[in-house]
């Protein structure tokens, strides 16, 4: 897995998703299928997009008791995807269970990463609502360290934290980073945000980009702008 841009396919139907993908005649973007599309269309959308040759991050952010997550991951292992995720807040026991559940008959498995703190969370929310009274960057590092100790392949964090995560957990520990906006872009509900160029400078392995591409007037041009800034 090299440095790449992952396009978040946050659409509510197969038709809209495939129409969007049809615009890409020259590239085959790495894509993310999240809750909106998966809950609307089910596993068949994963198969269909895979059959078109895309790499897939299946972003369902599992967070439950260890036994439930293990069984759910066993079911998801049947899908041919490259990357899946859980919430690190489920604890090390839950992350270990997720890893144990992720086994295919041929011995392969998708990479497993953990969401540290959502990029839509800021310091104020962390303290006042979640009652975690620590600097958010330290919380991200702590969760990343637990994920690394239990054997996960990486984390989801803001690009702003990618460098520190690599320093603590090693350069091969993946940093998959949403919270990406062009310098002139609308931030929306995201809080810990930076540009594709800055994400590259900070050492992110993958940026996850949704609305700046999907809602752009010219999505292919927006995707190319991301690739040019991030991959070079
Ligand atoms: O796990 C994720 O992909 C994720 C984690 C996180 O902390 N923040 C975050 O934004 N995401 C996802 O990344 C995508 C970002 O979309 P945009 O904000 O539209 O670029 C969405 O599909 C989110 O579900």
Q: How far apart are CA 210 and CA 10, in angstroms?
A: 7
Over residues 184-196, the pLDDT tens digits come to 999 999 999 999 9
Pairing of strands 154-156, 174-177: parallel
Average pLDDT of the chain, as a whole number: 97
pLDDT greater than 70 at residue 1: no
178 CA from centroid of ligand 1 (Å): 5
- Contact between 174 and 132 under an 8 Å Cβ cutoff? The reply is no
ipTM of the complex: 0.99
pLDDT greater than 90 at residue 2: no
Mean pLDDT along residues 11-22 = 98
Task: Label residue 179 left, alpha or beta by phi (over 0 means left) and psi (-120 to 50 means alpha).
Answer: left
What kind and span of H or E run contains 206?
strand 206-209
Which are the contacts of 22, defined by CB distance < 8 A and separation ≥ 6?
A: none
The protein residue with its alpha carbon nearest to ligand 1, atom 12, reads 178
- Contact between 82 and 56 under an 8 Å Cβ cutoff? The reply is yes
214 CA from centroid of ligand 1 (Å): 13
Mean pLDDT along residues 8-34 = 98
Domains of the chain: 4-230 (3.20.20.70)
């Amino acid at each position: 897995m090299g440095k790449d841009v992952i396009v978040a396919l946050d659409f509510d139907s197969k038709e809209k998703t495939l129409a969007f993908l049809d615009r890409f005649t020259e590239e085959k973007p790495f894509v993310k299928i999240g809750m909106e599309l998966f809950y609307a269309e089910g596993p068949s959308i994963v198969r269909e997009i895979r059959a078109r040759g895309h790499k897939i991050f299946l972003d369902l952010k599992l967070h439950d008791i260890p036994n439930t997550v293990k069984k759910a991951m066993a079911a998801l292992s049947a899908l041919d995807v490259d990357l899946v995720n859980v919430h690190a807040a489920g604890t090390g026991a839950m992350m270990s269970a997720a890893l144990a559940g992720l086994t295919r008959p041929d011995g392969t498995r998708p990479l497993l990463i953990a969401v540290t703190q959502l990029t839509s969370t800021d310091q104020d929310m962390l303290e006042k609502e979640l009652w975690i009274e620590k600097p958010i960057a330290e919380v991200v590092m702590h969760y990343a360290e637990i994920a690394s100790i239990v054997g996960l392949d990486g984390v989801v964090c803001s690009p702003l934290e990618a460098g520190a995560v690599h320093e603590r957990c090693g350069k091969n520990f993946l940093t998959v980073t949403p919270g990406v906006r062009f310098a002139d872009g609308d931030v929306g509900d995201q809080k810990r945000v930076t540009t594709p160029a800055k994400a590259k400078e900070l050492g992110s392995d993958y940026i996850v980009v949704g609305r700046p591409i999907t809602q752009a007037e010219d999505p292919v041009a927006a995707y190319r702008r991301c690739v040019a800034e991030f991959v070079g």
